[in-house]
Chain A
Amino acid sequence: MSQASSAPLVEVDDLCVRFVGPDATVSAVNGVSFALAPGEVLGILGESGSGKSVTLRALMRLLPHRKTRMDGRITIAGHDILRLDAQALARVRGPVVAMVFQEPMTALDPVFTIGQQIAEAIRTHESIDGVAARRRALELLELVQIPSAARRLDAYPHQLSGGLRQRAMIAIALACRPSVLLADEPTTALDATVQIQILLLLRTLQRELGMAMIFVTHDLGVAAEVSHRVAVMYAGRFVETGHVNDVVKRPSHPYTQGLLGSTVHGVAKGTKLSTIPGAPPNLARLPEGCSFAPRCGYAQQACRVAVPAQVEEGGTSGVPHLTRCVRVQASSAACGTTVPTTA
């Protein structure tokens, strides 16, 4: 977990994503900033609709370009993602950054075999012949531990079980040895036992291949299992980020506290995030200040004026614990625990 000290592989600076519709503009991501070192794993937690998937898709510019407006800056392995032309973007997708989708059934092309799809992904980026690509595809299926891989090469997605399908999708994502793997709830659609297997596989592969990974999940236990660092997302903002231990054991943001339930300590693996009274905000008409203020028991006048700045309060293993909440500002100033940000 010392990777955080090396130069960042992914740098996201004040990312904003809006969807322009005929009636309303939906602000799905509202100023997300973070950096990810090579080999580091960031877990993103948050309620449904908080903008987790949109953030991941923005990193690969997969959002429908006709209605999407993106601002800010995304740099991955030196590529200024938002300014790449179509061809340069296509060269980044796969070898630099790849994605594992939530639903392996709908994210695989149903009329091509697994082998064809892996080989195609490889041959898109490397000039090798079909035989070599097929051999690589077989190696990949073995890498993701698909039993009788040679036979599965010629299987269509619908002929595989959910778990095998997700392994196949991971194999496709790994086909061009990406430096960053984006995983959008890769286990949500699977059975409980299969979930754990896929999770362990992803963690093993991430370590063996030294990939950086961004892992989106609803499941706090899952996030704690795989991540070095977690970010809690609310209404398109990272309201709290930090080392897993800090965020889980000492949550600072009232939203995180609500997510973890009243008894924060001893959150077991598999714990689902509890629900918080009130409804998530309408992303078409976000409040001026903190988006959580309307649901927050501690809300004060200051919360409604401006979006609270990110405040650092300690950290673990070099991972700063950052929170966007006026109360943290106040309390940390009072207690004098604010650690000055190192330049």
Chain B
Amino acid sequence: MFQYILSRLLYTFPIAIGVSLIVFALVHLAPGDPLSAVMGEVDQTMIAEMRASFGYDKPLPLQYMTWLGSVASGELGYSLRSGQAVLEILLSAAANTIALGVLASLLGFSVGIAAGMFAGYRNGTWLDKVVSASAIAGVSMPHYWLAIVLVIVFSVEWGLLPAVGAGSASSMFSWESFQHMILPTIALSAIPCAIVARTTRACVMEILSMEFVEALRARGLSESRITLHVTRNALPTVLAVMGLQFANLLGGSILVETVFAWPGTGSVLNQAIFDRDIPVLQGTILLLAMFFVVTNLVIDILQTWADPRVSRH
């Protein structure tokens, strides 16, 4: 197992390099000139000077190598707009997004798994139909729309919860911060919840139809013990789906974060795109991509641990 993890870690390096290359290319091959966007109507010699000082006049491969070198040493550059260190911007944004992502995962996964298990076991009953219909609604409903509805109902109409921002408390673990996180958490958890519920339901139904469940019953195992076997068998598939959803949540949602004015990576990305703030854009996309690479690595390892049929080499 340890060897497997090590080899998987080694595999991650080329993937990370590839991702960085794509991130770099995406930003640089996009049409439009970053400096003219930032500086507006100024004379061309000044723009050329600025371009040289940021190194944007060098050939792209060289720029990439330079950028990669600085990234490797933790140096992500400075925002073209505010001059703030990109790393600093990203760290606080990522912390905010991760906080929401973790909360939304906890909520969405627990509700989704419970609902999916119930529906799978009560296959064909009204309870199953309610769960299945809700799951379809959950996946097809745009989450920013849900966000707006939540704001209208809980903040505007009832005045129960704050609508925007992260609050002014210094710690993320304060009651005030938590109140600010409730609505975005619910909005973000809808899709993962629905997807996990659907996967769990399908998985449980499939497993229950397998002969080994009958064989377990023939050994005299209690129903609760059999449920344990069913859960254990559903685990690899559900884990994989949860991992992908978690990675999605870590990426932050531009739309939901914008609705709630939540200072996370989604908001930063949104702003950076509007500003054509290349260092921030690159840094954010790279960070999100790395989230994906790392979560995928973790999913892979978890799956190998959960499913003995996946070969370990």
- Chain A residues near B (Cβ < 8 Å): 57, 60, 62, 86, 90-95, 98-99, 101, 103, 106-113, 120-121, 124-125, 156, 158, 169, 172, 175-176
B6-14, B209-217, B282-290 - interface stretch: B209-217
Residue ID in chain B nearest A176 by CB atoms: B220
Confirm or deny: B221 has a beta carbon within 8 angstroms of a beta carbon on chain A.
Answer: yes
Q: Inside 8 A of A176's CB, which chain B residues have their CB?
A: 220
What is the minimal beta-carbon distance from A285 to any residue of chain B, in angstroms? Answer: 26
Complex: chain A residue closest to B214, CB-CB = A62
| Chain B 200-236 per-residue mask, 1 if CB under 8 angstroms from chain A, else 0 | 0000000000111011111111110100010011011
Q: Known contacts A90-B221, A112-B232, A124-B220; is A158 also within 8 Å of B211 by CB?
A: no
Please, which residues of chain A bring their CB within 8 A of the CB of B232? 111-112
**B215 touching A108, Cβ below 8 Å:** yes
Q: How far is the CB of B269 from chain A (nearest CB, A)?
A: 40
In the complex, how many angstroms separate the beta carbon of B232 from the nearest chain A beta carbon?
6
B218 engages A99 (CB within 8 Å): yes
A60 to chain B, nearest CB (A): 6
- B217 and A107 contact, CB distance less than 8 A: no
Contacts of B218 in A (CB 8 A): 60, 62, 93-94, 98-99
> Apart from A62-B214, A108-B215, A124-B222, what are 19 other A-B pairs with CB-CB below 8 Å?
A57-B214, A60-B218, A62-B218, A90-B221, A91-B220, A94-B218, A98-B218, A99-B215, A99-B218, A107-B212, A109-B212, A110-B233, A110-B308, A111-B235, A120-B219, A124-B219, A124-B220, A124-B225, A156-B309
B49 CB-CB contact with A under 8 Å: no
Q: Which residue of B lies closest to A96 (CB)?
A: B220
Q: 9 interchain pairs (CB within 8 A)?
A: A60-B218, A92-B220, A101-B211, A106-B210, A111-B233, A111-B307, A111-B308, A124-B220, A175-B219
- Least CB distance from B235 to A in Å reads 8
Q: Please determine whether B211 and A106 come into contact, CB atoms closer than 8 angstroms.
A: yes
Chain A contacts of B221 at CB under 8 A?
Answer: 90, 120-121, 124
- When C-beta atoms are compared, the residue in chain A nearest to B211 turns out to be A106
Q: Assess the B307–A94 pair: CB atoms within 8 A.
A: no
- Pairwise interchain contact B220-A109, C-beta atoms closer than 8 A: no
Contact call B217/A95, Cβ cutoff below 8 A: no
Decide yes or no: A110 and B220 within 8 Å by CB, A62-B214, A101-B215 being known contacts.
Answer: no
> Of B220, B236, B308, which one neighbours A93 at CB under 8 angstroms?
B220
Is B229 a contact partner of A112 (Cβ separation < 8 A)? yes
A93 and B217 within 8 A (CB): yes
Determine which residue in A57, A110, A156 has the highest number of CB atoms from chain B within 10 A of its CB, and name it: A110
A103 neighbours in B (Cβ, 8 Å): 211
Q: How far is the CA of A113 from the CA of B210 in the complex (A)?
A: 18
A110 to chain B: which residues have CB within 8 Å? 212, 233, 308-309
CA distance A86 to B221 in the complex (A): 11
Q: State A217–B40 Cα separation when bound (angstroms).
A: 86
In the complex the two chains form, is B220's CB within 8 Å of A90's CB? Answer: yes
Query: Complex Cα distance A176/B219, Å?
Result: 9
Total interface residues on B, CB under 8 Å, equals: 23
- Taking the nearest CB of chain B, how far is it from the CB of A23, in angstroms? 15
For the complex formed, measure the closest distance between the CB of A297 and the CB atoms of chain B, giving whole angstroms.
38
- B-side residues, CB < 8 A to A, are 210-212, 214-223, 225, 229, 232-233, 235-236, 306-309
A33–B221 Cα distance when bound, in Å, is 29
Q: Ordered nearest first, which 4 A-B pairs have the shortest CB separation?
A: A94-B220, A93-B220, A107-B215, A156-B308
Q: Give chain A nearest CB distance to B211 CB in angstroms.
A: 4
Q: How far is the CA of A98 from the CA of B232 in the complex (A)?
A: 24
A60 to B220 CA separation, bound complex (whole angstroms): 10
How far, in whole Å, are A169 and B216 apart by their CA atoms in the complex? 11
> With the chains together, A93 CA to B223 CA distance in Å?
13
Among A93, A103, A156, chain B packs the most CB atoms within 10 A around the CB of A93
* Distance to closest chain B CB from A53 (angstroms): 11
Q: Which residues on the B side are within 8 Å of A62 (C-beta)? A: 214, 217-218
Report which residue of B221, B222, B307 has the largest number of chain A beta carbons within 10 angstroms of its beta carbon: B221
Residue picked from B210, B215, B223, most chain A C-beta under 10 Å:
B215
List chain B residues, Cβ under 8 A from A108.
212, 215
Q: Point out the residues of chain A lying under 8 angstroms from B306, CB to CB.
A: 111
Q: Which residues of A contact B308 (CB under 8 A)?
A: 110-111, 113, 156, 158
Asked if A98 and B219 sit within 8 Å, CB to CB, the answer is: yes
Which residues on B sit within 8 Å (CB–CB) of A60?
218
Complex Cα spacing A60 to B218, Å: 7
Most B-side CB within 10 Å, residue of A90, A158, A169, A172: A90
A99–B214 CA distance with the chains assembled, in angstroms? 10
Q: Which residue of B lies closest to A113 (CB)?
A: B308
Which of A86, A93, A156 is close to B219, meaning CB atoms less than 8 Å apart?
Answer: A93
Q: Which residue of A lies closest to B215 (CB)?
A: A107
Taking CB atoms, residues of chain A closer than 8 Å to B219 are 93-94, 98, 120-121, 124, 172, 175
Docked CA distance A62–B217 (Å): 7
Q: Closest B-chain residue to A89, C-beta based? A: B220
Other-chain residue from A107, A125, A158, A169 in contact with B309 (beta carbon distance below 8 A): A158
User: Which residues from B are CB-within-8-Å of A158?
Assistant: 308-309
Which residues of the partner chain B approach A111 to less than 8 Å between Cβ atoms?
Answer: 232-233, 235-236, 306-309
Q: Report B97 CB to chain A, min CB distance, Å.
A: 34
Q: What's the least CB distance linking A331 to chain B, in Å?
A: 43
